[in-house]
Structure formats: structure tokens, C-alpha cells
Structure 1
Amino acid sequence: DLICFVRSFYLMLHKPSMERVAFDKDDDIKKRAKMMLNFWKDCNKSDVWDNIYQAIEDLDYDKLIQELERFF
């Protein structure tokens, strides 16, 4: 999905500090999912992200490229 691709691209380039999750017996998938949702909710507070998500929703690849160039 395009949103996952853009988010992965962001993570690769910017390498934000995030809590690392150990995959062991005590793994709590709900806790991990909540952590990731909160991370993206906090990162999504800008006009740039709003424009990126709107371009994705509209499948407007030219606008998406413009917004990504502006962002990165």
C-alpha cells in the first residue's frame, strides 16, 4: 500500500528514535500497534503530511512526488 511505502521511506531517511520492540514470549501486539499508531499520529501534524496523505488518497502521483520532494 502506498501509505506504507511513504512511511517506510520516511523511516529509512530520517531514522527517528523509536522504542525498539523485543520479539519474545512477552510480545504484546496490541501494545506495539498502539505505539506505532501514536508515532504516526504525532508525526502527522503538518500541512506537508496532510498534502501527502491527500495525494495518496486521490492517487495523484504527480502531486505526491512534489510533496515528497518538498518534505525530503
Structure 2
Amino acid sequence: MDNVANGSGGAIATNSTLVIPFSRADRRGKSAGIEVPDHCGNGHRLTVGNVRIDHRERRWRCRRCGNDRAAAFRYRQRTG
């Protein structure tokens, strides 16, 4: 039996045959769609043209807020 330290001072057996079952609900939740509210935190209406959904990070972004952030950043860079 090989032992590997886990950082807590103990050892974990690497040839363990312990099986941990997961319910179907756990697997189903990972592929569920992303719920998008009607308005963003700044009050912009989130329509099909105004929302960008990042499926990899499982989040949505308001395009208008992103444009406002980019404009403020460019202004700060110009004025120094």
C-alpha cells in the first residue's frame, strides 16, 4: 500500500477502492442553464442584445456596463 501525505500530517492510501456514489440530481445541476435576471445591478435592462453569457464561467455580463467600464478605463489612461 502506497501512502501519500495530504498536508495534515496524516496519510491517504492511494490504492483505495472506496466508491462515492452521486445522485442524478448532482449531475443534472451542472448542465442546467444560467438564469439571467431582467435588469443588471446598475438598472440596465438585460435583453438578448445587451447580455453576454459566459458558459465556461457560468455567468452573465451586461454589455452596457462593460462598455461603460471600458470607456472609464480609456479616459483614466488618457488623462493619466
Please state which structure has a larger fraction of its residues in helix: 1
TM-score, length-scaled by structure 1: 0.21
Q: Which has the larger radius of gyration?
A: 2
Please state which structure has a larger fraction of its residues in strand: 2
Which is bigger in relative contact order (C-alpha 8 A, separation at least 6)?
1
TM-score, length-scaled by structure 2: 0.20
